[in-house]
Chain A
């Protein structure tokens, strides 16, 4: 009896459910006194509603019949599996495209002789300076709107008076 009490105290004190389950199982399976104190099958039947007390199945079939007919007429759609496969395929192809693009960019930028300035925007035109008669000239750069043509007008820089 004392041992049973100890087990009960330990059961209440143990924090983890697996330990509690193990303790109660091990004790109950070996303790005839505790087994005798369990609810009997007959007592349980008095508290539960058995299949013999729930009533006939006529009303139940009435509820199910209409729906069952609809179930039989319309075969179960299985969009989930197809949609899932489609989603996986799209995600995998997207990941492959991203990986290949990344790999290509990495390879291009890492290869010997790669000049980052070469991939600068192509339409950008740049001159450092123009010399006329051995001296830096006045330079005008003109690009008509909507064309790729660039005109450069360079003239001798007028000398300062005085």
Chain B
């Protein structure tokens, strides 16, 4: 990868500083971090999850892919997006709604500079795409915010602490090997109980909010099951599929990948899991880091072109959504765009594939009440809502509970919970309460981000609830595992969150 040069090595140091937290108190002095929650019903308006920038950005956009004025013009200002927008739900203010953000983009296109406040409101968008689902006029907000994010990421001069944070995130998460390298120290940290000690001493609370969030999110690590590069189909081969092993998924949730392979094989798929996969670029694209995203996208295209598979299976919603949109990401390079489109045609979420194929493996009963949580990048970005529910219902004994505010994002949103920890925390609590209200035995989701977000929130609230990926439930059913085993793994197994005695984040 050409980008991996000295600049990144310098940031590796920053990443290590941040994650190793060797000098934590040196960081995070960049600006005020106001509490987001003002009252029980409504958060205070200045939810400064991140410090503002100092001067207006003028002109608002440069010539390289500004938000498309025609797409902006599609908005008829009906407001149907408002109640599905997480930040509008939190703060009830127009600037933090899709309609308001489109207004801000329009102002920029009309020649107004972007004020620091305007940048903040754009930054506060989670990119959950619930508004895209809700919009009757078909406004492509996803394209608009992505273009805007790329402009902001490139052109806004951010305070040092935030810069470091961003650099750390983007030099770590997309790199499975760096994540893997982190597993050792993290396991030691978790085993030592240091987290609890830090929480009790109050030291943890003196960390910058972003770091606190990262610390709290880190899931419990277990042994890694090595995935075979090629797993044969059981019985008659119905399809040859490739598996995107992902970065966070592969590192923190290896069980999910293992379950995915087992279920696919049981359903008659030969599974190819190419070694040395890179990140698909979803996190970078989401964060507006265009060059990085483009490079990752090309790498993934090459990998799966070489794999010779009919279908590329993805079990992390954010990655699937990104890979389906790679042609847009690569639109400036027609050759690549074509290759991206060809790959996009093959990309399926694991639940899409299984639903398409139809079950051949016997489902053993699991007496479970399941709260299925729609991952935004599955439900809103990919329109995959029915398939996972159908698959879960096919398991005898599984009962699906209805979540209130199902369309509202849990606050994870890629790296949002690291960059905007305050609103993310509020949204996480909202979602956790909704999940708890179902009285379900287990929460099931399709994205590692949602998993970590809700699980860590539950832990912070002092609640214990098993969390699993859809495919883990199917795996348990096909293998005929007892419910207790599934639930135990989902409560204390790899990927779950360390219980916390106190609410470490709330002073």
Chains A and B come from one and the same complex: no
Residues on A close to B: CB < 8 A? none
